[in-house]
Each structure stands twice: as structure tokens, then as C-alpha cells.
Amino acid sequence: MTDARVRNPGSCAAKSGNVGSVIEHHPSSYWEQPFSQPYFDNTTKRETTTTVGQSAYLYCRVRNLGDRAVSWIRKRDLHILTVGILTYTNDQRFQAMHSDGSDEWTLKITSPQVRDSGTYECQVSTEPKISQAYKLNVVVSKAKIAGNSELYIKSGSDINLTCIVLQTPEPPSFIYWYRGEHVINYSQRGGISVVTEKQTRTSRLLISRALPTDSGNYTCAPSTAESASVLVHVLNGR
């Protein structure tokens, strides 16, 4: 895939040099089928959910494009994002991805925000235009640890924390547990077990026979969601 980023003023000279040789080029299919109209390949996904910070991709596939251009616009405010492989918007997070000769015109949105949620349109410059709408949901995924935000445990009891990742479109690829600043080191102390289930998006941390030294701020940090913390106090009992 070519990341064609044109709004960058510095790329001006470089790009036009590259372009000069291809201006007169017409795809052979255009001449072979002069009357064929472009059409969409409808197999691509039309609704995408992504989490904040996870790049989003909207895939638009057009057959028989000929000399027409594929553009992406944001329907909410009619903001033109890209035309061909060039970016019109000054919002640098949007870019068109296309490799020579392919039918795919992908809109990439890097570090999407919740406000980017909405409908995007892949538009072909025929008269009248043909278009396909894509719905993008950008969600904030959050981890949540069951129970109170502060735990009091008698010394010698077990610390049992269950973390669940909410609102994540995809299972997180990993979930880390921290105590304080550091990833919990299983080997440092015996009796620690972590059971992470990707499918249910949960992770359970079990520390058996806790001691006051196990007190601290425990954090569950999934790969694609905001982390959650709980403050654990291990009390000196007899």
C-alpha cells in the first residue's frame, strides 16, 4: 500500500515529478470497455467500530473506474477528505491508501477520536455520482475491576481481582496487571496466578495469602482500552 500524503507542502515538488510520467496514462481496461460504468464491490465491510487511538480503515472497492476519481467525504459537514490518492483536508489524520492498478481506495484515519464517529462516503466522480456510505464508530474502551475501588484484606487472605474490558470491538491482544508502576512479576513471589480469557475479555489476578507488603495500587491495563485501578490494603491481623 502506498501512503500518499499530499497536503504536506514539502512534498509538492517531489510529487509532481513523479506524476509527470503518468499523466497521459489511461488504464487499458478503459479503452477496452469504453461504455462500462464503474460499480462498487459490495463485499467490503460497511460498518466499522474502532477504539480511540486504534487506526481505522474504511475499504472502498471500485471496479471499472476508468478515468473517474474516487473521493472520500465526511457526510456530517460535507468535508472533502481525499480525492484520488491525495488528501484535501488539512486534518493530517486522514489519508487515502491505494496501490497502483488495484481497485481499493482505503481511507485511513490515524488516532481516531470519538468525534470522528459518523458516516463517511466513498464517491466516484461519474455523472451522476455513485457512492457508498460507511459508518464509523469510535468508542472509548475501558477496563473495569469488579468491586470497590478500595479493598481491605486481612493478612493471610487472598487478593482476588477480576478485570473486565468494556466496549471493545475486538478482544484485547493482552491484558497487563501492574502494582504501582511495575508489571507484576510472577516469579518475585509465589502464589500469584493470572487467568486471562480473551473471548470474555476478562482477566483474573489471584494473590494467595497476602501480606501487608502486597498492599498497593493494582492496575489492569488491556492493550486497547483505558486501564482501571483498585487500591488494596492488606491489614495486619493476628
Partner 1 sequence: MYTYKYINNKICLGLLQVAWLRVDTQTILTIASHVITKNHRIVVTHSGHRTWSLHIRETRETDRGWYMCQVNTDPMSSNTGFLEVVVPPDILDYPTSTDMVVREGSNVTLRCAATGTPEPTVTWRREAGGMITLSNWHEVPVLEGPELTLTRVTRLHMGPYLCIASNGVPPTVSKRIVLIVHFAPMIWIENQLIGAYEGQTLVLECHSEAYPRPIVYWTRPNNETIVNDNNYKSEVTAEGYETTMRLMIKNVRLQDFGSFRCIATNSLGENDGWIKVYKIGKPSTSRNTNSRRDSKKWSIDHNKKSSKDELILKEMMEELEEEGNEENSKSSTSACGYLDALTLIVMLLNVFPRFTTTTLS
Cell of residue 214, nine digits: 502486597
- Exactly one of 56, 60, 62, 70 binds partner 1 (CB under 8 A); which one? 70
From the list 32, 128, 182, 185, which residue makes contact with partner 1 (rule: CB under 8 A)?
128
Decide: 223 and 174 in contact? Cβ < 8 Å.
Answer: yes
Name the residue nearer to partner 1 (CB basis): 117 or 227: 117
Binding to partner 1 by residue 73, rule CB under 8 A?
Answer: yes
Query: Which of 32, 127, 150, 181 contacts partner 1 by CB under 8 A?
Result: 127
The contact pattern for partner 1, residues 38-67, with x = CB under 8 A and - = no contact, is -----------------------------x
Q: Which of 143, 74, 139, 135 is nearest to 113 (CA)?
A: 139
62 close to 39: Cβ distance less than 8 angstroms: yes
User: What is the C-alpha separation between 43 and 16, in angstroms, rounded?
Assistant: 34
Residue 93, interface with partner 1 (CB under 8 A)?
Answer: no
Asked if 10 touches partner 1 (CB under 8 A), the answer is no
* Rounded CA separation 95/18 (Å): 19
Residues 6+ apart with CB under 8 A from 73: 79, 80, 81, 120, 121, 123
Question: Phi and psi (nearest 5°) for 71?
Answer: -125, 155
> What is the biggest distance separating any 2 CA atoms in the chain, rounded to whole angstroms?
89
With binding defined as CB under 8 A, does residue 6 bind partner 1? yes
Answer for which of 11, 49, 137, 208 binds partner 1 (CB under 8 A) is 11
Of the listed pieces 55-63, 127-135, 153-161, 215-223, which binds partner 1 according to CB under 8 A?
A: 127-135
Among 25, 32, 150, 190, binds partner 1 (CB under 8 A): 25
Query: Is residue 188 helix, strand or coil?
Result: helix
Nearest CB to partner 1, comparing residues 25 and 182:
25
* Complete edge-to-edge strand list for the sheet that includes strand 56-63: 3-4, 94-97, 104-109, 56-63, 39-40
Positions in the binding site for partner 1 (CB under 8 A): 6-7, 9, 11-13, 15-16, 19-20, 22-23, 25-27, 67-71, 73, 75, 77-80, 83-86, 88-91, 100, 121, 123, 125-129, 131
